[in-house]
Structure 1
């Protein structure tokens, strides 16, 4: 036949294609080569006793069918019974057929080689590739023949075809050609062929992608090719992505996963997998690999960027192993372990896992050890960072022994050691150790131990000095620590700040920085807010240094929306308002405080702040400040000056006539204003305070009720105060506070206010018909503290629930709470 491909056959089954390819002979086929049963060229010819030759498999099948059918064993050609079923191999014929087949296949492969190029018609190329597949399936030796005639590079060249059918068939053919053949794999891996195959992985949901994965799986079985596959940019990334894809078919996912398992033989591939989210191979190497590999993988882990979920996985899987490496005497191993542990300790959940794995004792030992085996300072900084991370995870460190004497991390001795280390190291370690102390003060049960250690060691001065440190992280850590301990040693802090030049001013400079709102600013103003509010000396120093106008400016800017920050806005704003409220606690002793409050109309500002919905502390502090301002109103009112009587009027009183005075405050009986005397009758203060009586936070309610109570206090016209509350519809809300009994303090204040309201006959008459109010007063009369019981008694007399004769209890002061 001519040396060209017969394009008449269809794709068909493998047997169909085999038949078609059997027809593609160059030399003529001899009848003796063909089995009478299969009609195909024999590969294992055998001869019967009568001399007829058949394919061994075919004649054996014939004999089997005869036996199963109960028929005589006859020759398929003559139909004559056979005396023997012995099969004699026809070796000469088999050798002849093999030689004939080899000559034909060599010529056919050569013909395929000439047809296999990018300029050939698609149909010819497809037929060539199918023939090569057929040849390789037929005999393993044919794979050697394919290699020997240099067909592998030519098949790989077909991957560059513009026809997707050709590309797909070429990938399929290459997989068959290299299957279980290391030499063929090595030839295919030459040049850019592997890179070309990898490119097909980027074709999502395509047959080419599936064939490329199958080919890479086969190539990855060769350890020599694993590094080459992994070196192709994007190969491992795409394969890792495929294993987690929900859009791939299951077979492709499994092949991608097995390919990655094979690629794990190369350390560089393991690192790439970890970088792209497949971390388990690296963790397995740390757990089970040889010592050098363990260190290499742990070192890489210390450089890897991980999300929080990955940190938890790493902590659970290799946390204990890394801690054991950290305990070794080899400094290089300790360094590698420390850096890896540092990476995974930054997340709260993973830090807690490390604590359970026992990281604290060796970590503390590394920090405090001095001598031949001590860590260099750069590694002590890493150890301090890890300790700061795990401490800030919020675990209970009271129960974890970390020292040789079974001391816990929050024991006074251990805190002393930390404070001593802070004073003998550089800024970087100082910062981390301060963060450790910040973490230890997060729990009410441990903060007192830290406070006791600071007091007994006299460390307050050195801690305050860090406020002026040039390193921002160090400043922030020290300010946060001082803020945490200030509720328990506020006076010591105030004395230290007042006694050291510049420290107080430095805090206000931080607050004044016009860079939005930072963590440092929030911590600084939080520290200032925690200082004793009634410390006159401290407030005077703030006044002298001009600190309050700065605070007022920041508050106003936040109110007007000029300063915005989502993260630290709330603590910063609350701290500002608390610092500003200091002014109202020293009004009686400090004229400059009154002057500043007038200049900046603080009463109006605090009234506005009452409407800071969602900021309970701002509302509470503003109400408290208004209470303080209102208490001072009685002293600041200007009483009218009456003109002297005429001569006759001074002698004869019947001739004198009282002048009519207008414009006087109905509550204070003098000349009042919100700005000058802080009178609450202006600026809708009363209405806004009454609105807060319905607040969900009882502390806000208590502060609002205290401010409202200044309208009913001694020294003002109580009857007018009641009328003011009636106008503001405030009587019912005060009665509701009494009925709710939310806290003991709130109940005491409510009883006091209700008793004042009941002095007005109309209100007493109306309330007398409300059994709930009477019951609440009776309950206070029976169960409250001594003073509240007295007040409740008077209230019950107003509503005729107790006979109005001399009281059960002696008279005492009726001043407000």
Structure 2
């Protein structure tokens, strides 16, 4: 019977049925059966544990301590090597479920699977194991243990202590795709804690780091390809040696070509399920280069490949991924931060069919067949997407403003950060405000404040509003002050935000107060000659709302802590007495 269970492929319902009725018997066979019976019992338990709902049944049956003993302690002469591999597979399957791992005990001494004791033994075994199947499941166990931050910290600490990170990196070159894939997944998780160490380790291995991008079968896209690209994307972007290694190994044209293949839909159906994740990884690798523009080689590549246009295109051609949109905005932010440095003074150039955006939208002067190009209103020089990464020239600013309508706050925050580079120090902020105002930026940013309350989004939107008021003149200031929601947002931000948010909200409120005072004084001076003019009266701004209340006691105790005008009854404020 047990050999039958180990050989046939069970449906999920049948796996649960067997788990409920045969778990205890299978565990007894593993503990005391012959070699053949133990092997078949293991196979049955591996299949049963692969269905996550069965994890609780197996846990209650006491399978975890048995599997830990099989992996680390059991020594029987002529025991098949597969017993360790299968025990690790069962444990990995159980940990991939949603059980509370802090309560999973591994021995009678009270150690849990998340304790330093258990993690140390797993990592130590991984360092010295040469069995690929066993290594796959040991890595899966560690990956499951990194789900919660406190357990991740222990895993990182032990990996550093035992110095096994280089061995995990070497798994990326394994001919076994499953081992390479799970190793890349684990390294992605570890990258936030030891990213530069991983980057240095990658550069020491033959065929890496370029192999994570170049090793690609045009006929099919696998999870390995997608995870490998995302590993490169998740390692800290500011690691210049890794970025240069990728550049020198010719990965950029490959990345750009594959991005276009995915966006054109030239991915076979067998790989389409990983296309979105793969695209995110490829775009993330491109963003890496934009953090190292201080290096002349990388700068020349970014200019020659016109990365501004690439990222601008990805703002709208996202492949259905909001993460691609966010990454494209981050890339544009990094590029735009270099525009002021790259912009050159205006000069006469030969008239060509491709004129500057500013020459088209402004009034250039033409003499002797030559066109004097207008200065970029932001960078005070001649700009283009291919020579200065200018967001206005490349039309990226328009698309970034369109991203502000996204429901994803991370996309909105990244788009706002990119727009901020057009108003930051080192640029002509007044010229930028005029150009952005023509694109409807004020309305778009105020719209963000009506929808989003996330701290990062709120800070960036308020910073822009403050800049608009400071540099935009009276007309723009009136447009901002007439927004009905802004004051409510500012008061809420002042009371609930952090110190930076409070400071920005206070600055904007002061701007608005000066505007209101100016409008009132102007009205008073005009009213002496046109007091009866209804058009003048209509422009008096709202100064304050007075909330009045009586001393009526009939609503006590409700009104002991809240004025009656603030009491809500049936979604309606109570009328005054």
Same fold, TM exceeding 0.5?
yes
- Structure (1 or 2) with the larger CA radius of gyration: 1
Report the equivalent of 1:743: 454
User: In 1, Cα distance between the equivalents of 2:514 and 2:485?
Assistant: 13
Report the equivalent of 1:486: 191
Report the equivalent of 1:667: 378
User: In 1, Cα distance between the equivalents of 2:373 and 2:46?
Assistant: 75
Report the equivalent of 2:411: 700
Report the equivalent of 2:397: 686
Give the one of 507, 512, 515 matched to 1:799.
512
> How many residues of Structure 1 are paired with residues of Structure 2 in the alignment?
492
**8 Å CA contact retained: 1:526, 1:572:** yes
Give the one of 203, 211, 214 matched to 1:498.
203
Give the one of 410, 419, 434 matched to 2:139.
434
Residue 334 to residue 734, structure 1, CA distance change in 2 (3 Å) = same
Residue 665 to residue 430, structure 1, CA distance change in 2 (3 Å) = same
**8 Å CA contact retained: 1:412, 1:452:** no
User: In 2, Cα distance between the equivalents of 1:531 and 1:409?
Assistant: 28
User: In 2, Cα distance between the equivalents of 1:375 and 1:418?
Assistant: 21
Do residues 591 (structure 1) and 296 (structure 2) align?
yes
Per the TM alignment, residue 572 of structure 1 is displaced from its structure 2 partner at its CA by: 1.1
Report the equivalent of 2:66: 362
Report the equivalent of 1:382: 86
Give the one of 729, 752, 776 matched to 2:489.
776
User: In 1, Cα distance between the equivalents of 2:495 and 2:100?
Assistant: 43
Bigger RCO of structures 1 and 2 (CA < 8 A, at least 6 apart): 2
**8 Å CA contact retained: 1:528, 1:579:** yes
Q: Give ranges in structure 1 of 5+ residues lacking alignment.
A: 1-296, 644-658, 805-817
Report the equivalent of 2:464: 753
Do residues 732 (structure 1) and 443 (structure 2) align?
yes
User: In 2, Cα distance between the equivalents of 1:787 and 1:750?
Assistant: 12
- TM, length-normalised to structure 2: 0.80
Per the TM alignment, residue 436 of structure 1 is displaced from its structure 2 partner at its CA by: 2.3
**Superposition map of 1:274-673 within 5 A:** 297-328=1-32, 330-372=34-76, 375-422=79-126, 423-510=128-215, 512-564=216-268, 565-587=271-293, 589-611=294-316, 612=318, 614-640=320-346, 661-673=372-384
Residue 469 to residue 460, structure 1, CA distance change in 2 (3 Å) = same
Q: Give ranges in structure 2 of 5+ residues lacking alignment.
A: 350-366, 518-577
User: In 2, Cα distance between the equivalents of 1:701 and 1:786?
Assistant: 22
Report the equivalent of 1:219: none
- TM, length-normalised to structure 1: 0.57
Residue 526 to residue 613, structure 1, CA distance change in 2 (3 Å) = closer
Residue 432 to residue 783, structure 1, CA distance change in 2 (3 Å) = closer
User: In 2, Cα distance between the equivalents of 1:374 and 1:435?
Assistant: 27
**8 Å CA contact retained: 2:347, 2:372:** no
User: In 2, Cα distance between the equivalents of 1:486 and 1:374?
Assistant: 41
Per the TM alignment, residue 445 of structure 1 is displaced from its structure 2 partner at its CA by: 4.5
Cα-Cα RMSD: 2.6
Per the TM alignment, residue 661 of structure 1 is displaced from its structure 2 partner at its CA by: 5.0
Residue 803 to residue 474, structure 1, CA distance change in 2 (3 Å) = same
SS in 1 for 2:89: helix
Residue 790 to residue 371, structure 1, CA distance change in 2 (3 Å) = closer
**8 Å CA contact retained: 2:311, 2:332:** yes
User: In 2, Cα distance between the equivalents of 1:803 and 1:782?
Assistant: 22
Per the TM alignment, residue 753 of structure 1 is displaced from its structure 2 partner at its CA by: 0.2
Report the equivalent of 1:766: 479
SS in 2 for 1:566: helix
